[in-house]
A and B are shown apart, each in its own frame.
Chain A
Amino acid sequence: MKEQTYAHKASISSGLKYGFIIIFKPFAGFSDMKNEKKGNIISSLIFIFLLILSSIIMQQYSGFIFNTNNVKLLNIIDEITKVIGPIILWCIASWCVTTLIDGEGSFKDIVMSIGYAIIPLLLTRILYTVLTNILILDEGAVNGVILSIGTIWMGLLVFSSTLTIHQFSFSKTIFAIGASIVSIGIIIFIGLLFINLIEQMYDYFYSIFREILLRL
């Protein structure tokens, strides 16, 4: 009976709307997301896509006075990796750590929660872009404050999401987040090592191949 009441298909638009509920009431919001199946994965992926868009907009269209980027050179793939890369790393690392320490959240929960947690970042980046076109250098401190508000807000959301979806205690959450950051470092290190080794292997086989080709 209870299953039926909550099994209504959450539409994308309701999922998007739910994002704006979550950022103001994170604890209740994330727990509803997990337990009552509010929000959906597609809408959180849309938010990630919007974050990419907003960071490109920030890079290209923030006012000249504050924009020290070279607007004539834009590599969209670079911009996408700058956003997607850390998110993927966070999801993998967080999933690894929380699974080990008996977190209750699934990988899908983690992806969904991070998708909703970046909403403040997205909003403040757009606000920043608008403000830099209005403000002058003397009032520039406002811009910095806005960007840092976005980052701190996102940090709090990540914290509360980790706490609620895995049913952790306060100290365990802090440990999980710290361990996730460490494991991000480990993943990057192993990745670089792997690429390096593959490169050397490729060089080795390629030189053998060339040697054989020359001898034939």
Chain B
Amino acid sequence: MKRKFISLLITLIMCSCISGNVYAFAPYKNYVPSYQYKTVMGPQAYLPSNFIAIQQSNQLLMPNYTDMATDSNRNIYIIDKSNSILLIYNSLYNKIKEVKEVVIDSKVSPFKNPEGLFITPDDMLYIADTGNKRIIELTTDLNVKRVISEPKSELFSEDFVYQPIKLAVDNAKRIYVIAKNENRGLIEFDIDGKFSSFLGAALVTPSLTEIIFKRFASKEMRERMKSFVPTEYNSITLDKDGFLMVTTDSLEADLIVGAINSRSSDPRGTPIRKLNMTGVDILRRTGFRPPVGDVSFNLNDGPSKLCDIVAQNYGIYSVLDNKRCKVFTYDSDGNMLYVFGTKGDVEGTTRNPVALCKFEDKMIVLDGQLGTITEYSLTQYGNMVNSLIAANYDGKYQETIKLSRSLLQLNSNNDLAYDGIAKAAYREGNYIDAYDYAKLANDRLLASKSFKYVRKNAMSKYIGPIIILIFILIILWMIFSLFKFLKNKKNIYNAGRKES
């Protein structure tokens, strides 16, 4: 009896340990790249805090969720491609609605394998209805405003099948669409929903050997080599300044590995791009390693396969890696801030993540096959990193120094904190401190800039005494040589007298 009682007690204690949503530990590690080593560990920035299984009322096929978006009322919209259904959850993760069809011109029109979803800040919902070759513009009450059909232009060949998969809409209501099998960049629609142009085709630059090889190749060989095409994008979003941010997962592994090892800021090797309105890549990549996801991995597994991107405030952006199920966050300069998530079957991990959303302070990750939403909450450390970036972005230097110092107490490996102090010291004209902290942060550009002033100040301090010293030496030398000359003359005179 006693034994039973004890075992019951133990079971109860164990159960009480298991229950509860917030975990003090996570099944993954946080790291940041460092200059000398590829990565160094850091405290957790995001911890798993909630886990929701998506359920459909009468599900016919295995679900294949492809995209997720949130509106300003904090509702979550999820699209299931195989069942052609739009699910709407509220912020407490309770299902509100299931939408299978919309009413267009008083006719019921069901979705057909929709894949993409976009919600503008003023709560207009855009659905890329892939199977029906159209984009539907809705209000959040699901009233159809208009339908944007297939783009009409001579630029599209006749056998081209228009399949919009992802889209984004800017403040001027221009629509940018990623279509399947279209490698000429994004398809841009103007405000009236008419095709206007292609935008931001990825750069293709063949290497020298390829050019030489092509010159000597026969016609048949050249035709077979036609597969040499620009990469296609696979996700798109709009950042806070209205620039388009896109990712691609079809870059060659060699290019990415080369970019990591050479610390190159060349856009060719990096799968994240920020396009301005003329389609030119303007993403800054001044971190220790370019923003490509994982920088240290088994070469057989290959680099990260980025599949979604989320832009946050202050130029911070996060990308989702479908291969190793991680979320990487970068600042506007391309420094990696933190990473969370991993592949697995326990809570806080995912199997096939497809979409990432910022949800207040939290991040939610949609798993496409399992049909789950995993919610990650910002920790104190993550919050401090974010506010450091914000303070630096706004130019609040005193706050930057304060935040950096408290951040260094949590993680002395954090080069960004050293850099924050260095930048603030530089702005305040304290160049010696700036140089020392830039050294700690391995920021050679800032170190060089501050050293310029350190050198200048030292020069202006010591140049006077040095010049005086040189003058004194010259005068002494002149006096000395005069004496020598007189002595010689005397000797010669004496010698002359002796001889005579």
Contact = CB atoms under 8 A, between A and B. Distances in A.
B445 A64 contact: no
B447 to A, nearest CB: 5
A137 B455 contact: no
B97 interface: no
B36 A137 contact: no
B439 A136 contact: no
A84 to B, nearest CB: 26
B89 interface: no
Interface in B439-491: 439, 444-445, 447-449, 451-452, 455
Interface string A108-152: 000000000000000000000000001011100000000000000
Nearest to B439: A64
A28 interface: no
Nearest to A67: B444
Contacts of B439: 64
A76 interface: no
Interface string A54-81: 0000000000110000101000000000
A65 B36 contact: no
A137 B438 CA distance: 14
Contact of B444 (A72, A134, A137): A137
A136 B447 CA distance: 9
Interface string B4-46: 0000000000000000000000000000000010000000000
Contacts of B455: 134, 136
Nearest to A140: B448
Interface residues of A, number: 8
B451 to A, nearest CB: 5
B443 to A, nearest CB: 10
Interface residues of B, number: 10
Contacts of A70: 36
A64 B448 CA distance: 9
A18 B449 CA distance: 43
Interface in B30-81: 36
B448 A136 contact: yes
A137 B452 CA distance: 9
A138 B439 CA distance: 17
Nearest to A70: B36
A138 B448 contact: yes
A137 B455 CA distance: 13
Interface in B404-446: 439, 444-445
Contacts of B444: 64-65, 137
Contact of B447 (A64, A72, A134): A64
Given A64-B444, A65-B444, A65-B447, A136 B36 contact: no
Nearest to A73: B36
Nearest to A63: B451
Contact of B445 (A72, A134, A137): A137
Nearest to A71: B36
A65 B444 CA distance: 5
A184 B452 CA distance: 45
A132 to B, nearest CB: 11
A158 B451 CA distance: 39
A123 B90 CA distance: 72
Contacts of A65: 444, 447-448, 451
B456 to A, nearest CB: 10
A65 B451 CA distance: 9
B462 to A, nearest CB: 13
B43 to A, nearest CB: 23
Contacts of A72: 36
A137 B446 CA distance: 10
Contacts of B445: 137
Contacts of A64: 439, 444, 447
Contacts of B452: 136, 138
B427 to A, nearest CB: 18
Contacts of B451: 65, 136
Contacts of A136: 448-449, 451-452, 455
A36 B448 CA distance: 51
Interface in B220-260: none
Residue of B36, B439, B448, B449 contacting most chain A CB atoms (<10 Å): B448
A66 to B, nearest CB: 8
B422 to A, nearest CB: 12
Residue of A72, A134, A136, A138 contacting most chain B CB atoms (<10 Å): A136
B335 to A, nearest CB: 18
Nearest to B447: A65
B318 to A, nearest CB: 29
A124 B455 CA distance: 23
A207 B449 CA distance: 61
A70 B448 CA distance: 18
B446 to A, nearest CB: 10
A185 to B, nearest CB: 22
A1 to B, nearest CB: 38
A34 to B, nearest CB: 42
Contacts of B447: 64-65
B150 to A, nearest CB: 53
Contacts of A137: 444-445, 448
B346 to A, nearest CB: 37
Nearest to B452: A136
A206 to B, nearest CB: 30
A65 B449 CA distance: 10
Contacts of A138: 448, 452
Nearest to A72: B36
A44 B451 CA distance: 39
A61 to B, nearest CB: 14
A70 B439 CA distance: 12
B417 to A, nearest CB: 19
A138 B447 CA distance: 12
A74 B449 CA distance: 28
A211 B447 CA distance: 61
Given A64-B444, A70-B36, A72-B36, 4 more contacts: A64-B447, A65-B444, A136-B448, A136-B455
15 contacts: A64-B447, A65-B447, A65-B448, A65-B451, A70-B36, A72-B36, A134-B455, A136-B448, A136-B449, A136-B451, A136-B455, A137-B445, A137-B448, A138-B448, A138-B452
The 3 closest A-B CB pairs, nearest first, are A137-B448, A70-B36, A136-B448
